[in-house]
Chain A
C-alpha cells in the first residue's frame, strides 16, 4: 500500500473515531472534525462546481446536513462514503435549484447558460472586462436591474419594490437583458 493511501485511510479512521465521540456529545471533537472536514469538502465541491459563491453556500448546507444526519453514522461503515453521500446529494440539490432559473451570473462575472446551448461559446468569454463592456451597452435601467438580480443577489420582489415595478415586469426585463447579452457575446465570438 502506498504511503498516500495509508495516510488517507488513517485520516478516515481518525474522522470515524471523532464522529463516534461527536455522537456521544463531545464538542471539542466536533470542532476538530468539522474544521478538518470543511477544507476537504470545499476541495471536493470546488472540483465539481466552477463558481466559488455556490461552493461556499453548498459547503454551509452540507455542514448543516452532516449535523442533522450525525445519528445515522455507523462506525463499522466508511466515514468517507457517508460524508460524500451527503455532500453529493446536497450539491445535486443546489444545482437542480439553480438550473430552474434560466441563466445565472456568478460573482466572478461569468455568464453561464444553464441550458447549455451556447455554454462553450459563453464560457470562452468569461473575462469580466469584456462582459462589463457588453453590459454597458444595455440601457441604464436594465443594467441596474441585471446587476441587482444576478451580481448582488437581490430577489425579484426586492428589485420590484426598489424600482416601483411589478415582479413580472422585472423578470421580463432581466430575461430581455440576458438575451441581448447572450446575442452580443455570441456575435463578438463569431467576429473573432
Chain B
C-alpha cells in the first residue's frame, strides 16, 4: 500500500492546487421527482389545451388488454427517467437484470401493440384524430430533452451512450402514452405516429449525446 508513484504524486499536487469548493448536486431521487412532475404537468397542460381525450376511451379502457398496455406505457416513463437519473451519477454497479426490468414495461407495451396486427382489439375508427400527433410528440420532447441534457451533463454520466439513448426515451414516452389515449387508436397508426417518434427522438438523442458527452483531450 505504500508504493510511491511519481506520476500520480505530480497529478495529486496539480489537482490539490486547482481545488475549489463545489456545490453538491441534489440526490438523484430529488432530481428525478422534480423533473418528472414538471414533465407530466407540462405535457398534460399542452395536451389538454390543444385537444381532449378520445371520446370512446372509457369504453376502450374496459378491455383488459388495452388497459394493461396503457398501464405499461404510462409506467415506463417514470421507470426510464428513474434509471436515467440514477445512471447520471457514479454509483454501485447495477446488475444487467435490474436494468432490463426498468426497460421491460416499455418493451412489453410495444409488443402488446404490435400483437394487434394479428388480432385487433377495436374496429377501425377515426374518432379523436389529431392532425399532427407524431410531430407533436417530437416537438414536445425537445424542451424536455434539453432539460435532461442539462441535468445529466451537470452530473457525471459514466455510461454515456446508453444514457444518450435513454434521455430520448424518457423525454418522449409520456407524450406518446398521452397520444394513445387522445388520438385515434389503430395499430399501424399507433406504431408509426405514436411509437415511431419515440425512436426518432431517441436516435437523435443518441447522436447528440455522442458529441455532447465526448471527452475533451
Contacts and interface: CB of A to CB of B under 8 A. Distances in A.
Interface of A: 22-25, 27, 30-31, 34-35, 38-40, 42-43, 56, 59-60, 63-65, 67-74, 76-78, 81-86, 88-89
B163 to A, nearest CB: 12
Nearest to B15: A67
Given A31-B12, A85-B90, A71 B3 contact: no
7 contacts: A27-B17, A31-B16, A35-B12, A42-B8, A81-B92, A84-B93, A85-B91
Interface string B1-28: 1110101110110011111111111010
Contacts of B7: 56, 59-60
Given A27-B16, A31-B16, A68-B156, A38 B5 contact: yes
A38 B23 contact: no
A122 to B, nearest CB: 28
B114 interface: no
A171 to B, nearest CB: 21
Interface residues of B, number: 30
Nearest to A41: B8
> SS class of chain B's interface: helix, strand, loop or mixed?
loop
B104 interface: no
B155 interface: yes
Ranked nearest first, the 10 interchain pairs of A and B with the lowest CB-CB distance are: A25-B21, A69-B156, A81-B92, A85-B90, A71-B22, A89-B158, A72-B89, A34-B12, A39-B1, A72-B156
Given A40-B1, A42-B5, A43-B1, A25 B25 contact: no
Contacts of A67: 15, 18-19
Nearest to B154: A71
A60 B22 contact: no
Interface string B120-164: 000000000000000000000000000000000001101100000
A77 B90 CA distance: 11
